[in-house]
A = this chain, B = another copy of it.
Amino acid sequence: MATIKDVAKLSGISRSTVSRVINNHPYVNDEKRSRVKQAMKELGYFPNSSAQRLRGSKTRTIAVLISRIVNPFFSGLVDAMDEVATESGYQLILCNTRGSRERELKYLDLLKTKQVDGVILASVENNWEDIKPYLGYGPIVSCNEYTAQTDIPSFKINHYEATFQAIIHFIKNGRKKIAFCCGDEPIGSDLGVDREKGFFQALSEHDLLFQDEWYFKNVSSVEDGRGVLKRIEKMDDRPDAIFTGSDEVAMGIIAQSQLSSIIVPQDLSVIGFDDQQMSGVLKPGLTTIKQPIKQMGRETMTYMLQILNKQKELAGTEKVLQYKFIKRDT
Contacts and interface: CB of A to CB of B under 8 A. Distances in A.
A114 B69 contact: no
Interface stretch (A141-149, A202-210, A274-282): A274-282
Nearest to A46: B112
B115 A49 contact: yes
Determine the interface band of chain A, counting residues with CB < 8 A from chain B.
35 or more
A93 B91 contact: yes
A50 interface: yes
A95 interface: yes
A302 B17 CA distance: 44
A314 interface: no
Given A54-B51, A222-B277, A79 B72 contact: no
Interface stretch (A229-237, A251-259, A315-323): A251-259
A322 B59 CA distance: 40
A223 to B, nearest CB: 9
A224 to B, nearest CB: 12
A82 B93 CA distance: 11
B282 A93 contact: no
Given A112-B46, A283-B258, A82 B53 contact: no
Contacts of A109: 46
A54 B282 CA distance: 53
A220 to B, nearest CB: 13
A44 B112 CA distance: 10
A86 B69 contact: no
A168 interface: no
A135 to B, nearest CB: 13
Contacts of A76: 70
A283 B264 CA distance: 13
Contacts of A258: 283
A141 B260 CA distance: 46
Contacts of A44: 136
Contacts of A35: none
A69 B82 contact: yes
A283 B283 contact: yes
A278 B107 CA distance: 31
A107 to B, nearest CB: 8
A69 B79 contact: yes
A43 to B, nearest CB: 12
Contacts of A283: 258, 282-283
A47 B282 contact: no
A197 interface: no
Interface of A: 44, 46-51, 53-54, 59, 61, 68-70, 72, 75-76, 78-79, 82, 86, 91-96, 103, 107, 109-110, 112-115, 136, 222, 251-252, 254-255, 258, 277-278, 280-283
20 contacts: A46-B112, A46-B113, A47-B113, A48-B113, A48-B114, A49-B113, A50-B50, A50-B54, A51-B54, A69-B78, A69-B82, A70-B79, A82-B94, A86-B96, A91-B95, A94-B94, A222-B281, A278-B281, A278-B282, A282-B283
